[in-house]
Structure 1
Amino acid sequence: MSTSGFRTEEIVEAYAAMHRCVQGYADSGDWTPFAEHFTPDATYVEHAFGTFRGREEIRAWSVRTMTSFPGSVMTGFPLAWQVVDADAARLVCEVRNLMPDPGDGSRHEESNLTIMTYAGDGLFSREEDVYNPMRFARMTLRWAEVARAHGRLSAEGEAYVAQYGAMLGPRVTPSA
């Protein structure tokens, strides 16, 4: 038994169960239950959007972010790898954020490192997502450029390009 009181297998199984649910939320578009994977007093640190405390803040952020562009377009979040420090009750993994085929068969994705702190009973007390927001935004804009060329960019995607395209470089610009 580790000093945290949790076995590596328990932490891995809890995260795998959560991760299966996350794919279901992406498939259905309903992110409301996401916060239930956390303790009532959990902390979620998201480097681009801020720190959220408690299930209701986590729920509001996840629903708002994942039901609007580009979150609403993402098709999956497979793990590239994971490691567990049972003594610290932590699981660290690389999550791949996948965009759908924009129309030409190209693949667009950006990864983040996620640090999960396990609290027992299948729940987590903390999540921290570490990534470069500029790289993620540039990937999203590249995807939008290809999707637009193939008639697959939504009005919400066009609004995203209009808001962020000029700020991030000349490659993707709002449509006329």
Structure 2
Amino acid sequence: MTSRTFSREELAEAFAQFEATVERAAQTRNWDPWVDQYTPDVTYVEHAAGTMHGREEVRAWIWKTMESFPGSHMTAFPSLWSVIDEATGRIICELDNPMRDPGDGTIISATNISILTYAGDGLWSRQEDVYNPLRFAKAARKWCEKARELGTLDPEAEAWMRQYGGWR
């Protein structure tokens, strides 16, 4: 929770900027501007990866996560809905994580709930991502199975499937 109070308008504007930056990061695969939206001492709670402290810890994690399967196959992270909590300076939202088309137009995705705490000046001091890692694994397996069926399975996804998805 923040000790400052922010107007609904400022919180909405900051979240719109957050979404635009995340969209650009997904398109360009450059995760640095996304990380630069956080305060230098950010706390980032990621239920599968643990708690990270500071931008540089978050930066190392996001680059590794988004540049290896299944993150490398996620194409966008749009919010499906969001709630502005002025009293706490937080945005609570559901983010979609669709994967690229395996070759026939199929959309395979998983979602998470994110809780962002605003620090002011366009920066966020905390983010917590709440989700079931098994749903993400199930989506990744489904994508691999569909891509294999279509003949579009790439070596990175196939290696992930052999290690985590049950293929031998």
Partner residue of 1:11? Answer: 11
Q: State how far apart, in whole Å, the 2-side matches of 1:103 and 1:60 are.
A: 31
Displacement of 1:33: 2.5
Which portions of structure 1, spanning 4 or more consecutive aligned residues, are displaced by more than 6 angstroms? Answer: none
Counterpart of 1:162 in 2: which secondary structure? helix
In the TM superposition, 1:96-107 aligns within 5 A as 96-107=96-107
> More deviation in 157-166 or 117-126?
157-166
Asked if the contact 1:46–1:129 (Cα under 8 Å) also holds between the matched residues in 2, the reply is: yes
Q: State how far apart, in whole Å, the 2-side matches of 1:12 and 1:140 are.
A: 32
Asked if the contact 1:98–1:109 (Cα under 8 Å) also holds between the matched residues in 2, the reply is: yes
Asked if the contact 1:110–1:136 (Cα under 8 Å) also holds between the matched residues in 2, the reply is: yes
Q: Is 2:69 the partner of 1:69?
A: yes
Partner residue of 2:38? Answer: 38
TM-score (norm 2): 0.94
Asked if the contact 1:45–1:128 (Cα under 8 Å) also holds between the matched residues in 2, the reply is: yes
Q: Is 2:103 the partner of 1:108?
A: no
Q: State how far apart, in whole Å, the 1-side matches of 2:31 and 2:5 are.
A: 31
Q: State how far apart, in whole Å, the 1-side matches of 2:113 and 2:21 are.
A: 19
Q: State how far apart, in whole Å, the 1-side matches of 2:49 and 2:148 are.
A: 27
Partner residue of 2:84? Answer: 84
Counterpart of 2:73 in 1: which secondary structure? coil
The Cα offsets for residues 94-139 of structure 1, whole Å up to 9 and x where unpaired, read as: 0011112212222111110000000000000000000000011011
Counterpart of 1:62 in 2: which secondary structure? helix
Partner residue of 2:25? Answer: 25
> More deviation in 126-135 or 30-39?
30-39
Counterpart of 1:19 in 2: which secondary structure? helix
Aligned pair count reads 166
Percentage identity across paired residues of the two chains: 51
**Superposed CA RMSD:** 1.2
Q: Is 2:152 the partner of 1:152?
A: yes
Partner residue of 1:141? Answer: 141
Matched to 1:96, the amino acid is: D
Higher normalized contact order (CA 8 Å, seq sep 6+, divided by chain length): 2
Counterpart of 2:110 in 1: which secondary structure? strand
The Cα offsets for residues 71-99 of structure 1, whole Å up to 9 and x where unpaired, read as: 11111111110001111000000001111
Unaligned runs of at least 5 residues, structure 2:
none
Q: State how far apart, in whole Å, the 2-side matches of 1:152 and 1:26 are.
A: 21
Displacement of 1:9: 1.4
Counterpart of 1:87 in 2: which secondary structure? coil
Q: State how far apart, in whole Å, the 1-side matches of 2:114 and 2:50 are.
A: 15
